[in-house]
Every structure is written in C-alpha cells, then in structure tokens.
C-alpha cells in the first residue's frame, strides 16, 4: 500500500509545483518536457522488450511496460524546472542533469525503489548503463529545446521578448 501511495504521489504532486511558475515560462519549456516524456516512453517500451527490468508494483496494469509515475508525473515536471533554472546555460544544465540522473539511476532513488521498496528490479541493464543512457537523453532533449527555441524566436521578438 505504501508503494502505491508513493507512486501516486510521484504522478500527481509534481504538477502542483507548476503553479509557482509564470504562464510564459510554462509555455516556453513545456514542449521540451513533453518531448522528454515521449523519449522516456520510447525508452520504457524498448527496455520492457529487452527485459531491462521487472515491475513488481504498477499504477495502471495495462501500462505496465511504462514507469507511469515517472514518465507522466515527475519526469516532465522536473525537466521543465531544470530548463527554467538553467535557461541558456548548457554546462549548468548538463551538470544538473548528471547529478539528478545519478540520483535516479544509482543512488538514492534507485536504491530506495529497488532495494528497499521493491517497486522494480533491474535485470538486463546495470545502474551505470542506465545512468549513461539518461545523460545521453538529456543532451538530446537540450538539442530539441535549442531547435524549438529557434523556431519560436521570431514570435518572441514580436512580443518584445528575447
């Protein structure tokens, strides 16, 4: 029961933090957050097919290949906040992602979810391989953000913002 409460909290609670941001900031960074979630969905489906892990606890049984709480809850919101705090500072963005990816893939979140709570168990992928994959995905997400920012730059200039 505790695991379900934790998973539901991870799915819902992060979205409430968006009330702390301005509407313009959410509009600026949300496409990157959605893209990040899309990449994580693809990764989760591939990882499920490759049997990278076994889920012992899930929120929505028919979405068992996905870590629903992360893909649709914490991950997009955390991505949005990272872009908010590291706007136009690639190296700070990268270091922030390396630290957070380490926390998720190796310690303490992975340790908590796998070893203490037993929500999932990694099988055919190591924590370090997953960490490297997450860092690589963060660079791809940043590339998407830069591309998306170039597209919308004329619109921002028309409104008097750069």
Residue extents of the structural domains in the chain: 2-13+30-158
* pLDDT value, residue 1: 87
pLDDT < 50 stretches in the chain: none
* pLDDT value, residue 135: 98
Q: Can you say how many angstroms the Cα of residue 130 is from the centroid of all Cα atoms in its chain?
A: 13
* pLDDT value, residue 13: 97
Of 66, 65, 142, 44, give the one whose Cα is nearest residue 98.
142
* pLDDT value, residue 140: 98
Query: Are the beta carbons of 50 and 124 closer than 8 angstroms?
Result: yes
pLDDT tens column, 11-28: 999 999 999 999 999 999
- Spell out a b/e string for 50-78, using b for 16 or more CB atoms within 10 Å of the CB, else e: eebbeeeebbeeeeebbbbbbbbbbbbbb
The pTM score is 0.88
* pLDDT value, residue 61: 81
* pLDDT value, residue 57: 87
């Amino acid at each position: 029961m505790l695991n379900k409460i934790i998973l539901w909290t991870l799915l819902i609670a992060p979205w409430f933090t968006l009330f702390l941001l301005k509407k313009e900031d959410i509009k600026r960074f949300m496409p990157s957050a959605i893209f990040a979630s899309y990449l994580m969905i693809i990764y989760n489906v591939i990882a499920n097919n490759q049997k990278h892990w076994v889920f012992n606890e899930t929120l929505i049984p028919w979405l068992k290949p996905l870590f629903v709480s992360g893909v649709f809850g914490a991950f997009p919101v955390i991505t949005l906040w990272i872009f908010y705090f590291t706007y136009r500072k690639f190296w700070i963005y990268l270091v922030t992602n390396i630290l957070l990816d380490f926390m998720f893939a190796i310690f303490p979140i992975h340790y908590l979810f796998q070893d203490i709570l037993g929500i999932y168990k990694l099988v055919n992928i190591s924590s370090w391989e997953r960490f490297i994959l997450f860092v690589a995905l963060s660079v791809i997400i940043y590339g998407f953000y830069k591309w998306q920012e170039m597209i919308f730059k004329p619109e921002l200039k028309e409104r008097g913002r750069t």
